Every structure is written in C-alpha cells, then in structure tokens.
Amino acid sequence: MISTSRRKLRTIQLKTETDRDCTRGRVSGPCRRYFGGTDRCGCLPVQSSCIMDMKKKKGKGTGLLKGMAIICVVLAFILAVLLIVGRSGRTGRKAASASTSSASVSSAAAMTSAGREAAASNNQESGQIEGEDDAAPADSAALRLTDADIHKGDLILVNPWNAYDFDANADSVDLVNILDNQSVTYPCDKSDFEIARHVLPHLDEMIAACNAAVGTNETSISSAYRSMDYQQNVWNETVANYGEAYARNYVAVPGYSEHHTGLAVDLGRTASDGTAESFTGSANADWINTNSWRYGFIRRYAEDKASITGCSNESWHYRYVGVPHAYFMYANNLCLEEYIEWLRENTSESAPYTITCDLGTWEVYFTQSRNPACPDEEYNVSGNNVDGYVITVKKN
C-alpha cells in the first residue's frame, strides 16, 4: 500500500512539475525528446501516464525510433537528390537544346542578313536588280555568270559615268604587242603599243583593206592600250598645255578611258618618210568610217553624239565591239550608250533580236539573269559594265 501510494504521489508530482514548466514557457525533457508539435507555450500537453510509459520503454523505443528516423531521413535525402539530379538534367538538356537552337537561328539570321547586305551592295555597285536569281541552276545547260562578268567583254560601256574595272579584267584581258604580232605591216607611233589579242586580227584586216582601197600604206596607229599611269600622264600633260576644260573634252579622266580596255585604238596617217599626216578628213578616215563595222569596229565619238558620250568629236578613235553590234549601230546611227539602252528596252532571253547582214545572222538579247539558258550554237557573253549581260548567238 505504501509502495502504491508513493507511485501515485510521484506521478502527481511529475504532472505538476510538467504543467509548471509549461506555464513558465520551458519545454520538459520528454516533450522535447519525443514530440515535435508544440502548443502556445512551446510544448505539447502530455499525460503523466504517457511519460511514465515512455520512461519504461526508453531503452527499446528510443533505439527503434532512432533507427527508423535515420532510415527515413536517408531515404528522403536519396529521393531528394534523385529528383534534383533529374530536374537538373532535364533543365540542362532543355537549356542546351534552346541554346543550340537559338545559336542556329542567330547564325542563320546573321548569314541571311550578311548575304542580303552583300547582295544589296553588289546590286548597288553593278546595277543588278534585287531579286534576280543568283544561285547556281539545277539545269546544267544554263550559264553561270557572276557580278564580275558584268564588267568584262567587248560591249562594256566605259565613259565619264562608268569607270573601267581593272580588278574584274585583271585575268581576262590578254594584251599583245602590235608590232610584234601584226599579220600585215603598218606603223605605230610607239613600239610598245598593245591591244587585246582577239582584236588584233580584225585590226590587221581593216587597216590592210583601207590601204588597199585608198592606194596608200599610210594608215597607222597613234595610240592603243593605256594603263592607269599612262592615262594619268596624258591627262596631266594635256591639262598643262591646254587647260582642264579642253582636257575634259578630248581626254578621258584616268580610270574612265576606253583605252584601258585594250579594245580601242586611235588611228593616224604616217607618210613613207615617217612624217605624221592628218587623219581627219582624209580618204583613210572616210573609208574606215564607212567600213569599220565589217571588222567589228565603231567610230566611238561622233560629233552629233557628244552630249550622250560625254566626249567631243574624234574621227580617229575606234572601238571594237564585234560585227553584229557594229553593223546595227552603224545602220541605225547609234552610239554605244544608245545601243546598250536599246538592247535593255527591246530584247530579252525570250525575245531576242535578230541581226542580219551580208556577213551573217545573229540573235542578240540583254539579260540581268546570271543563269540564262546556254545556247546550242556558237555564242558570246559580254557585260555592259552597268547592270547586266548581252548574249550574242551566231546562227548557222
């Protein structure tokens, strides 16, 4: 009885102490150790009998709970790590994919932008119309022309408004010394005069025919190909002797001279004793003015075309353009500027113009396409040095 009474008394004391601690805001040991929740004072209200039971089972219960808690914590940690890693991987892959996609789009956009800017620059410089086809055609029978080709060929327009493109022609113009390669004998004012190789045979034939027709051997060459430096010296000398106003009428500004092309010559007359004679008004000048087209040459600067060509009358300056073009210009009284414009306005790949004379028949058309159809017959392509190409097809 005493033992039982003491046990009850002890239980009452514990409860009383616990309640007292709670009222003071302190958390008793059993609450703090086994319970997570708290009431307003910071601990869970518990029954004293529970405290006694827990004290009895402290040895076994504490170890079991600790073990289970550790296992739960470990499992929770592992699960959390797996979730984090999984999310990181997916996020990384998405980010990488997005980055790659963004980089590809940015790169493509940059390339497209750069390509458009380059195309716009080329169009502005060469006159090419924006939107013209510029990719290599699938049809292997199509021509593949370039922007540089606009500035090459027998029909390039070189005048005060259109400079000669030295870079585009650096590898295409084959110059030969006239005296060393002429097939007939005629004098040149200088021994180092040069002309384009493919033009020389036509020049030889024209001079030989002229001399035969007028009965003399006086037709000569007073000027031919000129480099930039040579033209600069001619310009400086003319300005010094006659003034700039005179020079602009009779001498091309360096870089804008037809003599740069290797397609032009100044004709003259040289007596048998070497004396220079006047070419203007001579029988030689008259014959060549009438017949030069048969050899592919045109009188480049006529008096009635000065306002169009930008150059005063020069009866001695002849330029090679090829037989069909020379014939058409002569027959229709057109200068090269007018002919280039006529081709642009009146011909196309689908509607070529047929030129016929006693030397043959040709079809001619202007195009801005870099991939026109490749003709089945003999043909020639020339740029106009402005905005496109002239295709000439020799008909059988």
Q: How many CB atoms lie within 10 A of CB 349?
A: 13
**Calpha distance 136→82 (Å, rounded):** 55
**Calpha distance 247→259 (Å, rounded):** 16
CA dihedral 329, 331, 334, 340 (to 10 degrees): -40
What is 29-98 written as a DSSP string? Answer: HHHHHH-----TTSS----HHHHHHHHHTHHHHHHHHHHHHHHHHHHHHHHHHHHHHHHHHHHHHHHHHH
Judged on CB neighbours under 10 Å (0-12, 13-18, 19+), 112 is exposed
Tell me which DSSP letter residue 132 carries: -
Q: Is 130 a catalytic residue?
A: no
Pairing of strands 194-196, 175-177: antiparallel
Provide the token pair at 371. Answer: 């991939």
Catalytic residue among 314, 338, 345, 349: 314
**Calpha distance 256→239 (Å, rounded):** 16
**Calpha distance 310→312 (Å, rounded):** 7
**Calpha distance 244→53 (Å, rounded):** 124
What is 268-323 written as a DSSP string? Answer: EEE-TTS-EE--TTSHHHHHHHHHGGGGTEEEEE-GGGHHHHSS--EEEEEEE--H
Angle separating helix axes 48-56 and 2-23, nearest 10 degrees: 110
Tell me which DSSP letter residue 396 carries: -
By annotation, the residues acting in catalysis are 314
